[in-house]
Amino acid sequence: MATEDNGAKGGAPAPQVQPPQKTAPVAASAPPATGEAGPDGPKLTPAQLKAKAKAEKAARRAQAKEVKAVVAAASPAPAGQDGKAAKGKGKQESGGLQPPNVKPSHRPSVSGRRPSFAAEKDARSFIPECFSHIPMAKRVQTSHAHKDVHPAVLAAGQQMATFAIKDSISRLEATLLAFKKVIESYDTPKDTSLSRHFVPHVLNPQIEYLTECRPMCFSMGNAIRLLKAQVNTFDINTPEDEAKEGLLESIDLFIRERINLAGYLIARNASQLVDEDDVVLTYGRHRLVEKTLLRAKENGKNFSVSIIDDPYDKGGLQLAEILQQAGIPISYSPNLGGLGTKVEEATTVLLGGEAIFASGFLQGAAGTADVAIAATKAGTKVIALCETINFDRERISLDALTYNEIDPERNSPESFRLLFDNTPVKYISGVITEFESGTGFSPAQAILAILRKQEDPIIA
Amino acid sequence: MAPVSTHTPTLQKLLKSLRDQDLETSIEGLIFLLKRRQVRGDQCANATAHILLQVVAKSKWQSVDRLLELVTSAGSRLVQAAPHEPVIGNIVRRVLGLIRDEASEDRNADELSESVSDLQSLAPVAPPPTSAPARPGPTPITRSLTMPAAGLQVSKSMFNLLSVVDTLDSYSTGASTPVSLAQNNSVHALKSEIIDGIGEIIDEVNQADDQIAGFADIHIYPGDYILAVLPSPAVERYLIKAASRRRFTVLVASPHSQGSGAEQYSALRKKLTSAGVKMISLSTTGLMAYMPKVSKVIFGAKAVFQNGGMLVDSGCCLAARAAQEYSKPVIVLCGVYKFCPQDTATHISWTQLENPSSYVGYDDGETVDTIDIENTLAEYLPPEFVDVYVTNLGPQTQDHLGSIMADHYKPEEMSVQLGA
């Protein structure tokens, strides 16, 4: 979702000035009215008056846009639209001044600032035109972040921008834990209720900031969608404490079920597919593959592992060391060279996925698709491991250039690199998720079909 | 086996000093360079041809058989020094074929000495000594040469005027006693023929890249996105040539390297940019991601085998596989001298490994001790991944490779066992 929005940014910044308003006006349409009456007169300087006039205009425009926004809100990926908000320009800040009757800490945030816009432009100027639709993570200085961004979210955002936290599940977990802090420190302002105020005025700035740091991964988008749905289930009259309690609980449940338990189940299911004397080939270092192999070893299987590494990441080397210490014989290849012979020697290929699209395509670290294709051609079975939270039910990628990210570390005139690639469904023998359907080993499409029908437990 | 001399050995220095050194030193010098992989890839062909030229010129031989023996033994030593460079074997076989050709022509000349000049004017036109259709069968040349010299002197064709003949006279052997004057002359003449022929092979090798580049604008269209994987000098020349005629974009895939990514291709970038062609540097990892944008894939082969399979840098296999997935054409550049008459036993036998210390340092002792690390440099690419082979004789398909092989190698050479 974020991917898509950031992509749009390159094209037409002008129309995007409005989107940030689209959620704000619903709740904030009252404040401007009272605010402009001038109860906070002393605060207004001439400059602010000017800003006010501008804001009025902005509000009118926003009203006009509202119809549009409502339509958009009905569209399936609300989190994505929040991502869009991040694209708003600094100009919007003037809007931020208008509703002074709200508590300072909870002013309707209209948009994240874009202070480093120029700097970012420079960074993006190296991107070849044919890839210029693809978003890229960037470091937002904490001092330039929107004032409403919670410190815990600031920290998480920084870690994501610097790729200290990089895989989809770690990012999801960091996001949720930070949101818990946000909820804990939240006080519903007077005259409004949590279910109305929390999402547009508190949660959205956090999401905008995170998206600005690095385009959101699908698991984050899914989780945020579920969280918002959860907020909407609260009645207006629900006491704040009760609502907060409910939210915190559901986040805890979510982390337990969709992350921890899912990881455990996938490792258990997948480890059953590792047989005695197998040669398991994997690419890079993926948390689920690592768990699976260690689990299989604990089960007393004797097998060897062939690790093909991504030379930029070198995660495979860490995995090699971990598995070697567990007593698994390792053959390590620092790059994709000799792939053809290595997949022939392997009996099983285990690949970790960052996401799975509605079309069943697997999004993985760049190079995953090469391994899958080579293995399929060599007649070796390819098993993808992925938590269901990473499944995206709406997005369909045509190829790896539809949804991707540019590696900010490798973005210069001398080098260019995309972070992900897509493995077509025909090169994946099966996907293992936490669902227990037999061995939990089914084609991606089947799992998507279940997911489409399934009510997400967190909403219920 | 003392290496060349006091100075640091390089190919250039070795080639310069060939004239003044004795043969053994030169051979050892090249073996040394090959073993240290200071001479690799395309240079091997050139170096081998030069050394074999010295073998023909400097060693003492009175019969063609003896010469074949000498060349085979020197060639075997070079092949053994660098078994990963099949091109060396190709050149040795080409030279052996050349010697047999020249010798049989001499015999023919013996029979119809009048028409020698006509015959000669036909033969040496193509850089590869075109196989004369009616040659005596296998193992034909057993007798030593005894024929009048007169007819042979004529046979120096104009094509050879500029090539490296001068070594000949100073090294003419045969001054020793037991040889008759006639025989001496005929050996002398034959030697000059052979040396001319080797000169032509050297020219062919040196010109191959330029000739290949001549076909550049056939397969590159305006607006193309060309993925050049680990561009070899031939590929670079091809792209630069195409850039002078067309506007397109080049994506160069180079392996991961410490420090700045594509420094090794900065010269190429400069030339392409000055011609108005954009160049984007990628890594060889994860080429699948870019393939939808790519319109053609191009790389150079280290060797092409009889079945059309190739020995290529390992990144090229990835690119070819990804290209096949998206049905993008794959263009392989290779001079005809890279065509290997051998069959490929197994593809694994051609996998070449390289020092992995750039990926896993030796300071990481525990890892180095306990984990098998394989860094593949080059591997075998099956023929089904390639759409066109662009050679110095023009673009070829896989089906036609057989006849090109037959034009350049005769059964005798194909069966020659070089190396261990």
Which residues of chain A lie closer than 8 angstroms to B359, CB-CB?
A: 309, 311, 314, 317, 334-335
Q: How far away is chain B from the Cα of A399, in angstroms, using its nearest Cα? A: 7
Put simply, the answer to whether B372 touches A331 (Cβ < 8 Å) is yes
User: H helices then E strands: how many in chain A?
Assistant: 19, 12
Beta bridge partners of B330: B297
**Which range (A117-131, B65-79, B233-247, B271-285) has the least confidence?**
A117-131
Take residue B368 and report the two structure tokens written for it. 């180095």
Q: In this model, does residue B223 exceed pLDDT 60?
A: yes
Task: Output the average pLDDT for chain A.
Answer: 76
Minimal CA–CA distance to A207: which of A76, A112, A143, A117? A112
Question: 3-class SS at B74?
Answer: helix
Which residues of chain B lie closer than 8 angstroms to A131, CB-CB?
A: 293
A269-453 belongs to which CATH class?
Answer: alpha beta
Which pLDDT score is estimated for B41? 79
Condensed to tens digits (0 to 9), the pLDDT of residues A35-70 reads 344 444 444 555 555 665 666 666 566 555 544 444
Put simply, the answer to whether B280 touches A416 (Cβ < 8 Å) is yes
Assign B64 a pLDDT band (cuts: 50, 70, 90).
confident
Number of CB atoms found within 10 A of residue A104's CB? 8
Which pLDDT score is estimated for A120? 52
Q: Contact B254/B260 with Cβ under 8 angstroms?
A: no
CA distance B416 to B138: 12
**pLDDT: which is higher, A293 or A74:** A293
Which residues of chain A lie closer than 8 angstroms to B278, CB-CB?
A: 128
Residues 6 or more apart from A179 whose CB is under 8 A from it? A153, A203, A206, A227, A251
CA distance B56 to B63: 12
Average pLDDT over residues A272-289: 93
Put simply, the answer to whether B293 touches A131 (Cβ < 8 Å) is yes
Q: In this model, does residue A33 exceed pLDDT 70?
A: no
Q: What are the residue ranges of CATH 3.40.50.10470 in chain A?
A: 269-453
Average pLDDT over residues B225-243: 92
Average pLDDT over residues A405-430: 87
Residue carrying structure tokens 């030339």:
B271
Which pLDDT score is estimated for A46? 57
Put simply, the answer to whether A335 touches B284 (Cβ < 8 Å) is yes
Put simply, the answer to whether A373 touches B285 (Cβ < 8 Å) is no
Assign A350 a pLDDT band (cuts: 50, 70, 90).
very high
ipTM of the complex: 0.74
**pLDDT: which is higher, A308 or B108:** A308
Closest residue in B to A366 (Cα–Cα):
B286
Query: What's the full length of chain B, in residues?
Result: 420
Which pLDDT score is estimated for A61? 61
Minimal CA–CA distance to B299: which of B252, B335, B331, B262? B331
- CB-based burial of residue A147 (10 Å sphere; 0-12 exposed, 13-18 middle, 19+ buried)? exposed
Q: In this model, does residue A77 exceed pLDDT 50?
A: no
CA distance A323 to A289: 11
For chain B, how are helix, strand and coil distributed in percent, rounded to 5? 50, 10, 35
Condensed to tens digits (0 to 9), the pLDDT of residues B74-114 reads 999 998 888 888 889 889 999 998 888 888 877 776 655 44
Which residues of chain A lie closer than 8 angstroms to B360, CB-CB?
A: 317, 332, 334
Q: In this model, does residue B33 exceed pLDDT 80?
A: yes
Cα angle value A278/A279/A282 (rounded, 5°) = 130
Which pLDDT score is estimated for B167? 42
Residue carrying structure tokens 């984007």:
B280
Is A310 part of the contact surface with chain B (CB cutoff 8 Å)? yes
Measured between its terminal Cα atoms, the distance across chain A in Å is 24
Put simply, the answer to whether A337 touches B315 (Cβ < 8 Å) is yes
Q: In this model, does residue A422 exceed pLDDT 70?
A: yes
Condensed to tens digits (0 to 9), the pLDDT of residues A223-258 reads 998 899 888 888 888 888 888 999 999 999 999 988
Put simply, the answer to whether A335 touches B256 (Cβ < 8 Å) is yes
Residues of chain B numbered 190-209 and touching chain A (CB < 8 Å)? none
Condensed to tens digits (0 to 9), the pLDDT of residues B115-130 reads 444 444 444 444 444 4
CA distance B379 to B315: 9
Partner residue opposite B261 with nearest CB, options A130, A399, A415: A415
Q: In this model, does residue B153 exceed pLDDT 90?
A: no
**pLDDT: which is higher, A8 or B17:** B17
Q: What secondary structure does DSSP assign to A273-337, as a single string?
A: T--TT-EEEEES--HHHHHHHHHHHHTT---EEEEE--TTT-HHHHHHHHHHHTT--EEEESSST
Assign A98 a pLDDT band (cuts: 50, 70, 90).
very low
Residues of chain B numbered 353-382 and touching chain A (CB < 8 Å)? 353, 356, 359-360, 366-367, 370-377, 379-380
Q: How far away is chain B from the Cα of A342, in angstroms, using its nearest Cα? A: 10
Residues of chain A numbered 81-100 and touching chain B (CB < 8 Å)? none
Beta bridge partners of A359: none
Task: Output the average pLDDT for chain B.
Answer: 78
**Which H, E and C letters describe B261-307, residue by residue?**
CCHHHHHHHHHHHHCCCEEEEEECCCHHHCCCCCCEEEEECCEECCC
Question: 3-class SS at A102?
Answer: coil
Condensed to tens digits (0 to 9), the pLDDT of residues A78-90 reads 333 343 333 333 3
Q: Which helix (H) or strand (E) holds A369?
A: helix A368-377
Q: Contact B205/B50 with Cβ under 8 angstroms?
A: no
B214-401 belongs to which CATH class?
Answer: alpha beta
Report which residue type is found at B327: S
Closest residue in A to B268 (Cα–Cα):
A414
Q: In this model, does residue A289 exceed pLDDT 90?
A: yes
Q: In this model, does residue A340 exceed pLDDT 60?
A: yes
Condensed to tens digits (0 to 9), the pLDDT of residues A319-335 reads 999 999 999 999 999 88
DSSP label at residue B339? B
Average pLDDT over residues B215-222: 90
Number of CB atoms found within 10 A of residue A415's CB? 22
Is B143 part of the contact surface with chain A (CB cutoff 8 Å)? no
Which residues of chain A lie closer than 8 angstroms to B315, CB-CB?
A: 336-337
Put simply, the answer to whether B262 touches A415 (Cβ < 8 Å) is yes
Strand arrangement, sheet containing A420-423: A355-356, A362-365, A420-423
Is A441 part of the contact surface with chain B (CB cutoff 8 Å)? no
Minimal CA–CA distance to B342: which of B409, B418, B414, B412? B414
**Which range (A102-106, A362-366, B62-66) has the least confidence?**
A102-106
Q: How far away is chain A from the Cα of B93, in angstroms, using its nearest Cα? A: 29
- Most A-contacting residue of B258, B290, B377 (CB-CB within 10 A), to test interface: B290
- Boundaries of every domain in chain B: 11-207, 214-401
CA distance A183 to B135: 92
Report which residue type is found at B328: K
Is B264 part of the contact surface with chain A (CB cutoff 8 Å)? no
Q: Contact A113/A96 with Cβ under 8 angstroms?
A: no
Please report which residue ranges of B10-124 form alpha helices under DSSP H: 11-17, 23-35, 42-58, 64-81, 86-111, 116-122
Residue carrying structure tokens 């150079």:
B300
Residue carrying structure tokens 């045969």:
B174
Rg (CA), chain A: 24
CA distance A405 to A124: 12
Put simply, the answer to whether B281 touches A317 (Cβ < 8 Å) is no
Put simply, the answer to whether B263 touches A414 (Cβ < 8 Å) is yes
Condensed to tens digits (0 to 9), the pLDDT of residues A161-204 reads 999 988 899 999 999 999 999 999 988 888 888 888 888 888 99
Which pLDDT score is estimated for A59? 59
Q: How far away is chain A from the Cα of B391, in angstroms, using its nearest Cα? A: 26
Condensed to tens digits (0 to 9), the pLDDT of residues B337-377 reads 998 887 665 566 778 888 787 777 777 777 777 888 888 88
